[in-house]
Each structure stands twice: as structure tokens, then as C-alpha cells.
Amino acid sequence: MVNAQHHLIDHLGIERLLSVAGGSMGGMQALQWVASYPERVRSAIVIAAALKHSSQQIAFSEVGRQAVMADPDWRGGNYYGISQPRRGLALARMIGHITYMSDKSMELKFSRKLKDNRFSFSFRSDFEVEGYLQYMGDSFVKRFDANSYLYITKAMDYFDLSHGNMIPDGKILDTRFLVIAFKSDWLYPSYQSKDIVHLLKKRHIDVTYCEIESSYGHDAFLLEVVEESHLIKHFLAKTYSIINDEPTYNTIGS
């Protein structure tokens, strides 16, 4: 993914980026930019991400992949022109969406509200949270490809910039970092962001860490726009003030 982005900025004639920024998988791409092309990046903004997936994160990815591949319509990935594995992909999305929210945000949004104010005593959806998850799954299959889902989740599981994979011994890095985490994010918990900060500080790299109080869970990186914008605005202003005597930079988001 980052290699493709690198080819793009070459094509556009951009020599160096003021910043690369991203949340979740985008945060991993921001880290990979620095690992692969440090000379092209002046700063990186990493939001709700990790140096590598934990076994729990890999487990959630695998359950989603198995849901897709268990759908008879997947046909070993050869479903194009026939029918997309809609049920499997919708189920994968439902599983994933649960991990994006926090217990508190789900309780505030749904609690135990019933759709029809009574139990059906059947296996149809009685609770509003059930209907919501089904809606999210059905919406997802209209705009996403099942094989793309499989490859993207696998790429995230393979991603590993821990230890010396990001900054080899003897390598000097002048990239500035802003690392943002959210207290209620249990999919990418704040300790993983702190691992990034710890690795950078050991190498004496300029890094700022901010942990935002939010009830949204992992979804917070998409929803806490005001707080994030405030932090990013000041970080970019400081970065630009440091290099204001250098050539014009550009910003790319992931």
C-alpha cells in the first residue's frame, strides 16, 4: 500500500511530505512510510494504531475471514460475475463493528431497547442492537469487496514494525511524531500506542503522545474530530515552524 503511495508522489513530483497521517490501518501505513522512506517524510501522525497486531487482534481478523470463506458464494474467491458472498461478508462486518465500539457507547446507544416493545420468542431480531448490526452488515456489502476484505485484514496481521523493524540500529531519523490514543479503545488499546512512543523515545526521536478521553471505543478516531483537529493543527504548525526555512512540503493522509 505504501509503495503504491510512494509511486504516486513520485509521479506527482513531490519530493518530501510535511506529514503522513492516518488512523487504525492508516496509522500503520504512516508508520510504514517512516520505516520505508524516512527521507521523504518530515512528520507522522499515528492515531489508534499499533506496531503489530496482538494475538487477540489477529483472532478477530481470522473470525471475520472465516465468516467470508464459509459462505458458499465465496467459491474460493472466484465469485466475480456470479454473486458476492454477501452473508459471510455481512457477518464479518458485524463482528468487526462490535470491536469498534465500547461497552459504554453500546449501552448509551442501545441498552436493551426492543424493536417492537416485546419479545418475539423466535430467532428474529428483537433488540435494537441486533437490527443495527444487521444494517451495518448489509450496508457494508454494497460498497466493499469480499476478497479485498480478506487481503486487507491479512496485510494488517502481517504488519510488524516492532523491535528494530522500524528503525534499524545505527539509523538516524529526524521525523517528528504525534501519537494519539483513546482511553475506551479496546481494539487498539492505548498500551499499543505507548509501545510506539517508547520505541521512539529510546531512539531519541521527537514524539508527542496524547490520550483522549472518549466513550466511543475504536470509532473515536473517526468521531472525536474537534479534539483531534486541535492537536493536529498545533503539531503541524510546530513542525512547519521548525522547517520553515526548507522547501515547501506536502501532506498525505492514509
Catalytic residue annotation:
24, 185, 218
What are 162's three cell numbers? 516492532
Q: Where are the beta strands (DSSP E) in 58-161?
A: none
Q: Please name every residue paired with 250 in a beta bridge, in sequence order, or none if there are none.
A: 17
Q: Where are the beta strands (DSSP E) in 24-90?
A: 43-47
On whether the CB atoms of residues 239 and 208 are closer than 8 A, the answer is no
Strands 43-47 and 176-182: parallel
CA atoms within 13 Å, Cβ hemisphere of 34: 33
Q: Please name every residue paired with 160 in a beta bridge, in sequence order, or none if there are none.
A: 52
- Residues 145 and 68: their CA atoms lie apart, in Å, by 11
On whether the CB atoms of residues 138 and 90 are closer than 8 A, the answer is yes
- Residues 207 and 34: their CA atoms lie apart, in Å, by 13
Radius of gyration of the chain from its Cα atoms, rounded to whole angstroms = 21
| 18: amino acid identity, one letter | L
On whether the CB atoms of residues 31 and 46 are closer than 8 A, the answer is yes
